């Protein structure tokens, strides 16, 4: 996955990424008025999760139908990690790992909850596991 960043003041951001993270500028395409339209940077060795044996991030995406998206991903070759289920924070949520080792979280937002409502649902959901551990 290659992230695309849309940043006001992109040239200054590139200078920062070079200074702070050792980014290498591959190319830069300015528009006729001088504003930056596009640039490519490389930071580090750009290794994939399968190359380094672990990952530092999970891609998270919201979709209209998490169950359908999860099934589609598994049928396409992803490894099922966590089947979609209703979560205490108001999302229906599942996880897969793609064939290249990258984890993906897939969710459909179902309801808006207050912090107090989320905490109550979390505690209720944890109660059966706590009882079983005794």
- Taking only the tens place, the pLDDT of each residue in 26-62 is 888 887 788 888 888 887 776 656 666 665 677 889 9
75: left (phi over 0), alpha (psi -120 to 50) or beta: alpha
Look at the alpha carbons of 14, 17, 18, 19 in this order and tell me if their dihedral is positive or negative.
positive
**Average pLDDT over the chain, rounded to whole?**
84
Per-residue pLDDT of the chain (134 residues; tens, 9 = 90+): 466 677 888 899 899 888 877 888 988 888 778 888 888 888 777 665 666 666 567 788 999 999 999 999 999 999 999 999 999 899 999 999 888 787 889 999 999 998 889 888 888 887 665 666 66
The verdict on pTM exceeding 0.75 is no
For the chain, residues classed under CATH 3.10.180.10 are 49-127
CA distances from 34 to 10, 26, 28, 38, 134 (A): 12, 18, 11, 12, 67
The CATH fold assigned to 49-127 is 2,3-Dihydroxybiphenyl 1,2-Dioxygenase; domain 1 (3.10.180)
């Amino acid at each position: 996955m290659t992230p695309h960043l849309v940043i006001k003041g992109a040239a200054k951001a590139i200078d920062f990424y070079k200074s702070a993270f050792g980014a290498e500028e591959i190319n830069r395409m300015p528009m006729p008025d001088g504003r930056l339209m596009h640039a490519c940077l490389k930071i580090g060795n750009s290794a994939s999760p399968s190359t380094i044996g672990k990952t530092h991030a999970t891609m998270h995406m919201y979709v209209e139908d998490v169950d359908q998206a999860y099934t589609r991903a598994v049928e396409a070759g992803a490894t099922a990690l966590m089947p979609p289920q209703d979560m205490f924070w108001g999302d229906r949520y599942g996880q897969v790992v793609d064939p290249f080792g990258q984890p993906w979280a897939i969710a459909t937002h179902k309801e808006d909850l207050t912090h107090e409502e989320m905490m109550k649902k979390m505690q209720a959901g944890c109660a059966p596991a706590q009882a079983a551990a005794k």
